[in-house]
Amino acid sequence: MKRTRFKNPRAKTGPKAFYYQGMIQQVFELSRFGMLNDEIAEFYGISPCTFGGYLKTKPGLNEALQEGRLISSLGIVDSLYKQACGYDVIEREEEYAVTKEGVKILMKQKVNHKHIVANVTAAIYLLKTRHGDKWSDFVKIEHSGNIGIQMKKLQMQDMSTEELLMLEKIGMKQLMDVKSN
């Protein structure tokens, strides 16, 4: 007599997820290059939910991800700051000659000092993001108190027939204007 085996309805299906210690360094590098969590999960061939679970349960993985992102952000801020303030560059030009024996000999060397001027757009962006309270484009206006306009209910029973017809024409004209727009 052959026994039939019943499957557990709560059993997980699909390939088993994997985790290994080398992922910590890889996740650090991938996040340093700007990859998002979903992209890192796709890189490993796992679901974003599985990767999110790893971040919560595997020691050091979330820290590596955050540290990589921080280094990436600091590099961007540093580059933006240099663009905003201007910076100096040293360019070297070298000319070599090759002897019959295949040895390279330096023939001419030229060193140029260049100054890259400040980028005003970068400076404005940096000031707005770092010191938005002082350099914002928006002006915040607050009002307190009463404006002094009082609205009264229109007493239509006290109006004449001519006044009621006039109100009806005005109302119809406004309705027609709204429908045409």
pLDDT at 115: 93
Nearest to 86 by CA among 125, 118, 127, 119: 118
Is the pLDDT higher at 1 or at 126?
126
Q: Where are the beta strands (DSSP E) in the chain?
A: 87-98, 104-116
Structure tokens at 20: 């290994």
Which letter does DSSP use for residue 59 in this model?
A: T
Q: Which pLDDT band holds residue 12 (cuts at 50, 70, 90)?
A: low
Q: How far apart are CA 38 and CA 58, in angstroms?
A: 17
2 pLDDT exceeds 70?
Answer: no
- Specify the length of the chain in residues: 181
Q: Where are the beta strands (DSSP E) in 8-60?
A: none
What are the pLDDT digits (tens) for 156-169?
777 888 888 887 88
Which letter does DSSP use for residue 118 in this model?
A: P
pLDDT at 21: 79
Q: Average pLDDT of the chain?
A: 82
pLDDT at 91: 93
Nearest to 68 by CA among 24, 124, 127, 114: 24
What are the pLDDT digits (tens) for 106-146?
889 999 999 999 999 988 888 888 877 777 777 777 877 77
Residue ranges in 33-160 assigned as alpha helix (H): 37-44, 48-57, 61-85, 120-130, 132-135
